[in-house]
Chain A
Amino acid sequence: MMNLVLSNPEVTNSDNFISLHSLLSKNFGSLDLNQNIELSITLEEDTRLNILDDLFDFGFLNSSIKISLKKDSFLLYRILSKTSENKDIICEKRLHILCQEIGSDAKIQCAWMGQSKSNFKFISFQEHSAPKTSSDLVIKSVLLDDSRLFSENLIKIHKNAQGVKACEENKNLLLGSGARALSVPKLEVEANDVSCKHGSATSRISKDQLFFLQSKGIELEIAKNMLIDSFLKFS
């Protein structure tokens, strides 16, 4: 298990993400591609951090990451992954976000595009053990060919964690005849003064949107790619 404690001056603005691979290389040297990454990060009080999880792009297919947020800290955690054509990748990511002190706030954004027979297992845990904390998870996937997504996402709010806002959203576009999306969004709420919600939606590309773009002279394949790109974007 690799451990990191991060505090100011690791300040970033909203456009500036720190590469997780670079962070690990800087602190732990070069990493063995065969190892499963197990990492624990603590954000100290008042720390604001944007992390881009690019481990997959560097060939690390399995990782388990826990991030604990202290008082008034903020985390924006982004995963953007796209598999290659004709490559059957199987990968697993476990992400545990613990809002352990008042005022901490975490946003997790995951965009996954699977092709061929790739398989992505994403297990997340948004845990709130302190009051007045918030977390927001958005998972978007585009599944082509015979690719699959298994997404199990738990939000747990402990008894003393009043005033928590937590949400989770999973959207899947199934574009391959063999594609499959399995979504298990779970809630365990033990405090009453909270706002906790989740949503999951699965469909294919909207025919109306495709028709609209084609009516503007855009070819079908380009129109599809435009819609896929905009679907996977985060604000």
Chain B
Amino acid sequence: MKKLFGLFLCFIAVLLIGCSNNDIAKNNNETVASSPSVIIESPSFDTAMDEPNIEHIMLTAEEQEYIRWDNALLSDSPDTFSGVIVDKKVFSDDDYKTIISTLVGSQWTIVQNYEMSKSELAKLIQKIEYNREHCDFSKDLITNDGLKDFQVQEKKAPELSAYQVIEDITSLPSGQFVSFTLLTADEDHPYVVIKRGENDFYFYRSETLNVQSESFLNALLHSTSSKHERAFFEWLLPTEPTITREAAMQEADSIISELHIPMKVKSIEPCTILTNYVERTEGWRIVYARNINGFFDPFDIESFGIADFAPPQKAAPWSRENCTIVIDEKGIASFTWLGASTQSTYCPERRIPAFSEVQPLITRQLFTLNETNLVREGFYRIVDISSVNVAVALLSTDQPDVGEYIPIWVVYYRSKWNDDSDIPENWQTGVIAFSMYNGQYVEPRITERKLSFELGGDR
């Protein structure tokens, strides 16, 4: 009996130790409002990546036949590169408060489980019903079932809005995503998502906010065959944002500066912002990212796949580092700061092998990834490379909470089954990254942790 009880206590102790290691936030003395990151040259730092050791391989006839480089446009690449080492910037509770105050001002209260009052719901239903009469796409913004749900909710709603006040961020749980609403002087109730102990922050003017950028909508238009859906996406396309590009940039830049975010503008484009199922405004979507030796991370909103029979050699240490700000005439519609990092140091300069040295290895990896399996045994996919660009990506190192920005070849391609006819519908586009140091397949769009889980490891 005593032995059993002792064993049980040991088990609980092990369990608790495991959990607390995940829950304890890294004690980072650098606050959001402190001095900006400083680039320090550190020639003696050992990078976690292997020195170039290109495997010289002989491609098979099939590899050469099915991976085609005839039309590939190759970017110029540097001969050498100094990668950048970054540490994970864990947001402290004070950091969260500083960010929130920068976005909404100093008067705000955190609440959870916000329940709309009868009058709030009545007002929303009235707007939706008005839209039904005046907007061709009101049923796309919210379906009849959605409206019915609100009508049912209104009958049971309290007279006054109900919520649970959270006295302080410190009382929210760590190690898991938590969301909360901010009560401010404005009518809008901003919605925030954080994970205490991590380096991601999400802010939206409203929980229902949906941003559709111009490029995203154009991609949607090409991907749907539904006549109604095409009409809806065309209606959503921004035509003329009600705030100038310059004014939007100024506001976004001031936030970046105030929060000492060490990033530069990577892209800016018009967008449409949908709020509360009825409101449609137009503004600008501005993406900031780290600029490493003149190069950015090339990715934004993409899709990709991970093959368990040919996984990438390296993945990201945490979320892809970027800051996306959406602004319209009402102000900040959304602000997301993901994968925050700090304390940059340069790695020793490394030779970049000529592309011709790594091309065979890249070819083989592309062939393996596109090789058929049980689904269409005996058939292959033809991969037609369109362009190869130079960019950077943040990848993991062998030190926890440390990442390295390295140069990558970004390969844009299209692929189809070898027995399919050569018509546009049969080709599928894709983009994939390889380390410029050694030609190995890397995937900065997934974290090592998630990759490990997908490959059957423990969380």
Question: Do the two shown chains form a genuine complex with each other?
Answer: no
Binding site for B on A (CB under 8 A): none
